[in-house]
Amino acid sequence: MTRTTTVSSDIDSRDVPAPHRRKDVAVLVPAAGMGLRLGGGTPKALRELAGEPLLVHACRRLAQAPSVAMIVIAAPPAEVEAVRAMVPAATVVPGGATRQLSVAAALAAVPETIEVVLVHDAARALAPAELVEAVAAAVRSGREAVVPALPVVDTIKRVDTGECVLETVDRAPLRVIQTPQGFRRVTLVRAHEHAVDEHTDDAGMVERLGHQVHCVPGSDLALKITRPLDLLIAESLLAAHPL
C-alpha cells in the first residue's frame, strides 16, 4: 500500500471563476469500513486503484470542487495517522463500528458556522467534482436534503424467502441512490441524534424525520466500489476519466 500518497492542502489556490468561489461546504467521508465484500484484508478505503488508495482518489476529486471548504474523514481507528499523512488537508477522526457512527463522528468535527454538509463514501472514489457542486447547489437553493440518483436499468422482481418470484415491480419510479448526499447541517445533526442501529443512508434517516429528499442526476463515475468486479470497472473508468 502506498502510504506516502497525499492530496495537496492547497485547496485555496485553485483557479476557480469568481461566481463559484463559495467554499461554504463541509464534506464528511466515512472511510472506516472493512470492505468485506471486496476482500483483500485491507480496509477498503486504503485499497489501491492505479497505485493510490481509494480514499486519496475520492478526496482529490472533492478538493477540486470549488464549494468545498473542509473535508472530514472518518478513518479506520488503527489508520488515523496514516490517513492524516495521506490527506493532509483533511480533518481526520476515528470512525465507528457502523457507517452511521462514522458519519456521526465526522459530523461532530464540523463547526456550526458551516450550513451545508455533504456525506460521501470513500468507496465512491471516482465521483466527479461536478456532482459535488450539483448537490451543494441544490442544498443552497433551499432543499433540505439532496441525493444523486440514477434510473434502474434492470428488471426488478420481489421474491419470497424461498427465492420464488412474487411480482415484477414497476421500475419507472425507482432510483439507485449514490453519494455525495447533501443536507443543511442542522437537519443532518437532528437525523443522527435520532439514529438507532441504522442500516440506511443518511437521506433515509432524514426522510424518517419527515423531510423531503430531492434527487439530482447521479453519475456513472460515482459507482460504489463494493465487490472485486467494481475495482476492475473503476480501473477502466479512471483510465477514461483521469484528473
Which residues of this chain interact with ligand LQXTBERG, rule CB under 6 A?
A: 99, 121, 177-179, 201, 224
* Residue 133: contacted member of ligand CTP, ligand LQXTBERG, none (CB under 5 to 8 Å, by partner type): none
* Residue 73: contacted member of ligand LQXTBERG, ligand CTP, none (CB under 5 to 8 Å, by partner type): none
Q: How far is the CB of 77 from ligand LQXTBERG (least distance, A)?
A: 18
| Stretch of 80-88, 121-129, 134-142, 166-174 lying at the interface with ligand CTP (CB under 6 A) | 121-129
Q: Under rule CB under 6 A, which residues in 190-209 are in contact with ligand CTP?
A: none
Three-state SS at 187: helix
Three-state SS at 233: helix
Return the C-alpha cell found at 36: 468485506
How, if at all, do strands 52-53 and 68-75 pair? unpaired
Residue 223, interface with ligand CTP (CB under 6 A)? no
Q: How far apart are CA 17 and CA 237, in angstroms?
A: 27
**H-only helix segments in the chain:** 54-64, 80-86, 99-107, 129-140, 185-193, 202-208, 228-240
* Residue 222: contacted member of ligand LQXTBERG, ligand CTP, none (CB under 5 to 8 Å, by partner type): none
Residue 83, interface with ligand CTP (CB under 6 A)? no
- Of the residues 64, 102, 181, 187, which one makes contact with ligand CTP according to CB under 6 A: 102
41-53: b or e for each residue (b if 16 or more CB lie within 10 Å)? ebbbbbbbbeebb
Residue 35, interface with ligand CTP (CB under 6 A)? yes
